[in-house]
């Protein structure tokens, strides 16, 4: 550590509980939509239909439930006496990593009948991707100072991510009723928020702060990203509502006639 460096005061709750509450809401919405899509992926009669539902689940859980929660919470991160700017390329990369992490985890872990080794491998890969998303998103943030991390808390955030990912993947494989999906999405959203703030607790910013930071103000990025997220949520809701009702479907993952008909119509 540079002996001339000073620790800059920073805050994670600049706007009070607004950002955590909004982040939790996005995490819950994304988790619920992702669990809904996972039900249809399990019931799909064709490979193409299953892949489409897995992609929707990945976008819902990874893009809305995890990444949007991260971005909304990051808006509350400020450094006293310094500006904050975001690198748009790294910000976009962090979004892609979140979606890819969930998609990989869903593909590897398999469905209801898959064994624990596949589930644990899927949880490990998904958790590693979520950690990569978080710290890539942090790398996108220019604070005017140097961001350093407490390695113990970084390791703790990684452990939370892996455990939360494994639990989430298990939920996507077995949860098939609206009531249980609501409970599961609540558990998943709390885990996502907990992982984020565990990772943020590891952050320190060293100065002196520079004034020449490059990037885009987070408040400028906020409106278009919120708009895109809301459009995505509405589109996924209508996509799920337009699909056959699975509440009466067979519990053994055999697709019903209505699901097979819907799959055939989508080809």
Banded model confidence at residue 150, pLDDT cuts 50, 70, 90: very high
Surface-to-core class of residue 241, CB atoms within 10 Å of its CB (0-12 exposed, 13-18 middle, 19+ buried): exposed
Residue 253 token pair: 């993952």
Banded model confidence at residue 4, pLDDT cuts 50, 70, 90: low
What does the pLDDT look like over 111-149, one tens digit per residue?
A: 767 788 899 999 999 999 999 999 999 999 988 788 899
Q: What's residue 178's pLDDT?
A: 76
Q: What's residue 256's pLDDT?
A: 41
Q: What's residue 92's pLDDT?
A: 94
Banded model confidence at residue 257, pLDDT cuts 50, 70, 90: very low
What does the pLDDT look like over 221-232, one tens digit per residue?
A: 888 999 999 999
What does the pLDDT look like over 7-29, one tens digit per residue?
A: 878 889 989 999 999 999 999 99
Average the pLDDT over 171-178 and give the result. 83
Given a cut of 90, whether residue 95 has pLDDT beyond it is yes
Q: What's residue 255's pLDDT?
A: 44
Q: How many residues does the chain have?
A: 267
Q: Residue 86: helix, strand or coil by DSSP? A: strand
What does the pLDDT look like over 186-220, one tens digit per residue?
A: 999 999 999 999 999 999 988 776 767 878 988 88
Dist. CA 182–CA 160, nearest whole Å: 21
Dist. CA 187–CA 3, nearest whole Å: 44
Residue 28 token pair: 């819950």
Q: pTM (2 decimals)?
A: 0.86
Provide, for the chain, the percentages of residues in helix, strand and coil under a 3-state DSSP scheme, each rounded to the nearest 5.
70, 10, 25
């Amino acid at each position: 550590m540079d002996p001339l460096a000073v620790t800059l005061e920073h805050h994670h709750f600049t706007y009070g509980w607004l950002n955590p509450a909004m982040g939790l809401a996005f995490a819950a919405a994304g988790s619920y939509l992702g669990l809904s899509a996972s039900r249809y992926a399990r019931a799909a009669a064709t490979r193409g239909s299953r892949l489409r539902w897995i992609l929707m689940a990945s976008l819902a859980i990874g893009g809305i439930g995890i990444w949007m929660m991260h971005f909304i919470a990051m808006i509350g991160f400020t450094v006293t006496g310094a500006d904050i700017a975001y690198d748009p390329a790294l910000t976009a990369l962090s979004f892609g990593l979140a979606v890819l992490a969930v998609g990989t985890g869903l593909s590897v872990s398999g469905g209801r009948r898959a064994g624990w080794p596949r589930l644990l491998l899927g949880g490990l890969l998904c958790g590693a991707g979520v950690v990569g998303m978080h710290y890539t998103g942090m790398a996108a943030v220019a604070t005017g100072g140097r961001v350093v991390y407490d390695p113990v808390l970084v390791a703790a955030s990684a452990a939370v991510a892996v455990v939360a990912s494994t639990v989430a993947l298990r939920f996507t494989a077995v949860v098939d009723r609206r009531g249980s999906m609501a409970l599961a999405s609540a558990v998943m959203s709390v885990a996502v928020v907990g992982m984020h703030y565990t990772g943020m607790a590891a952050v320190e910013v060293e100065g002196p702060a520079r004034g020449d930071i490059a990037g885009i103000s987070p408040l400028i990025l906020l409106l278009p990203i919120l708009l895109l997220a809301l459009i995505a949520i509405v589109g996924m809701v209508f996509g799920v509502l337009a699909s056959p009702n699975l509440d009466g479907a067979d519990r053994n993952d055999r697709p019903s006639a209505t699901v097979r008909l819907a799959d055939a119509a989508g080809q």
